[in-house]
């Protein structure tokens, strides 16, 4: 934990530039393979493809190792501040990639009750054009009622800036583990449910992002009144847990409730994809 050295904005830019160059080359090669096949340097391209494929895991490790560990949430059971791998520099970071998990789970500082991370992002106007797909969620915080009904989970909502965007980490905590859901929901900006079970054991389940909207409830006040959802005020350096409905800054926020996908800088609703 102490050995972790997060990247700076500049080293992050360099890592991403290297990753994107390789990813774009591989994508282009696969896309145009029938054309390249007829060209004299095809064998050379094939060798390059092998080299880039072998290089990608190392690039991923380099990026993942640099992703900052940030205090995102506090546990309602033991009051521990939980530090998670999180790229807050921008949605162009590969942390946000939805089809592969470019996160640094091993170095996170989690209490025994942390279970999963969900979230929402209020998008600023411009979204970077990057060669991967992200699934940042809707623009306003929400909970998954089926999960809260199935288990005595506690949810904590907080706020953090991600580049120009305003993000809302939605952390789920549980006193009892392991636990599984009949209808798993995706981890933040991924296409799988990822749960931290007992003894820091990670468990994965398929959780299609396309079905997320049916699982979400944006009416947080009743859950808060029942003591199931707590919040941390934006910018609160003490990360104090609060439960009052009247003073909660996360209720009735302006923003779209559509779950979005971002592909090559284009934001689309998951409903448009269906
Ligand atoms: Zn705890």
The Å distance, Cα 180 to ligand 1 centre, comes to 18
How many residues can be counted in the chain?
Answer: 274
Beta bridge partners of 269: 260
Task: Concatenate the DSSP letters of all residues of 76-106 into one string.
Answer: TTT-PEEEEE---S-TTSGGGBSSS----GG
The Å distance, Cα 47 to ligand 1 centre, comes to 50
In the structure, what pLDDT confidence band is assigned to residue 271 with cuts at 50, 70 and 90? Answer: confident
Specify the pLDDT at position 104.
85
In the structure, what pLDDT confidence band is assigned to residue 3 with cuts at 50, 70 and 90? Answer: low
Specify the pLDDT at position 126.
83
The Å distance, Cα 195 to ligand 1 centre, comes to 15
The Å distance, Cα 201 to ligand 1 centre, comes to 15
The Å distance, Cα 69 to ligand 1 centre, comes to 17
The Å distance, Cα 183 to ligand 1 centre, comes to 24
> Can you list the positions of beta strands (E) in 55-201?
69-74, 81-85, 114-122, 133-137, 154-157, 160-162, 165-173, 192-196
The Å distance, Cα 119 to ligand 1 centre, comes to 19
Measured between alpha carbons, how far is 74 from 104 in angstroms, rounded to an integer?
19
The Å distance, Cα 10 to ligand 1 centre, comes to 35
The Å distance, Cα 112 to ligand 1 centre, comes to 5
Measured between alpha carbons, how far is 132 from 45 in angstroms, rounded to an integer?
22
Q: Is the pLDDT of residue 176 over 50?
A: yes
The Å distance, Cα 87 to ligand 1 centre, comes to 23
Specify the pLDDT at position 274.
43
pLDDT tens per residue across span 66-82: 999 999 999 999 999 99
Q: Is the pLDDT of residue 273 over 60?
A: no
The Å distance, Cα 78 to ligand 1 centre, comes to 4
Specify the pLDDT at position 96.
97
Specify the pLDDT at position 156.
98
In the structure, what pLDDT confidence band is assigned to residue 272 with cuts at 50, 70 and 90? Answer: low
Q: Percent of the chain scored above 70 by pLDDT? A: 98
Q: Is the pLDDT of residue 2 over 60?
A: no
For the record, the structure tokens of 10 come out as 């500049």
The Å distance, Cα 265 to ligand 1 centre, comes to 37
Give pTM, 2 decimals: 0.94
The Å distance, Cα 174 to ligand 1 centre, comes to 8
The candidate with the shortest Cα–Cα distance to 171, out of 120, 213, 101, 124, is 120
Report the chain's mean pLDDT, rounded to a whole number: 94
Specify the pLDDT at position 1.
46
For the record, the structure tokens of 150 come out as 């199935």
pLDDT tens per residue across span 16-62: 999 999 999 999 999 999 999 999 999 999 999 999 999 999 999 99
pLDDT tens per residue across span 37-48: 999 999 999 999
The candidate with the shortest Cα–Cα distance to 218, out of 145, 158, 142, 154, is 142
The Å distance, Cα 175 to ligand 1 centre, comes to 8
pLDDT tens per residue across span 115-129: 999 999 999 978 989
The Å distance, Cα 81 to ligand 1 centre, comes to 8
The Å distance, Cα 82 to ligand 1 centre, comes to 8
């Amino acid at each position: 934990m102490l050995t972790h050295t997060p990247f700076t904005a500049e080293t992050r830019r360099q890592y991403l530039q290297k990753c994107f160059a390789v990813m774009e080359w591989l994508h282009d090669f696969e896309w145009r393979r029938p054309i390249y096949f007829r060209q004299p340097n095809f064998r050379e391209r094939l060798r390059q493809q092998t080299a880039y494929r072998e290089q990608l895991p190392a690039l991923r490790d380099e990026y993942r190792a640099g992703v900052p560990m940030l205090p995102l949430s506090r546990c309602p059971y033991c009051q521990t501040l939980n530090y998670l791998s999180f790229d807050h520099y921008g949605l162009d970071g590969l942390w946000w990639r939805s089809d592969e998990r470019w996160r640094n789970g091993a170095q996170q500082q989690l209490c025994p009750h942390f279970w999963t991370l969900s979230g929402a992002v209020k998008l600023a106007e411009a979204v970077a054009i990057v060669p991967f797909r992200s699934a940042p969620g809707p623009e306003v915080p929400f909970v998954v009622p089926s999960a809260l009904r199935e288990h005595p989970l506690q949810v904590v909502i907080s706020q953090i800036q991600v580049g120009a965007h305003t993000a809302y980490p939605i952390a789920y905590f549980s006193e009892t583990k392991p636990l599984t859901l009949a209808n798993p929901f995706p981890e933040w900006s991924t296409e799988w449910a990822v749960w931290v079970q007992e003894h820091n054991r990670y468990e994965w389940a398929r959780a299609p992002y396309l079905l997320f909207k049916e699982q979400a409830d944006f009416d947080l006040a009743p859950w808060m009144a029942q003591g199931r959802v707590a919040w941390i005020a934006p910018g609160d350096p003490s990360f104090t847990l609060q439960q009052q409905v009247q003073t909660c800054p996360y209720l009735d926020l302006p923003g779209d409730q559509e779950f979005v996908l971002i592909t090559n800088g284009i934001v689309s609703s998951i409903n448009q994809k269906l």
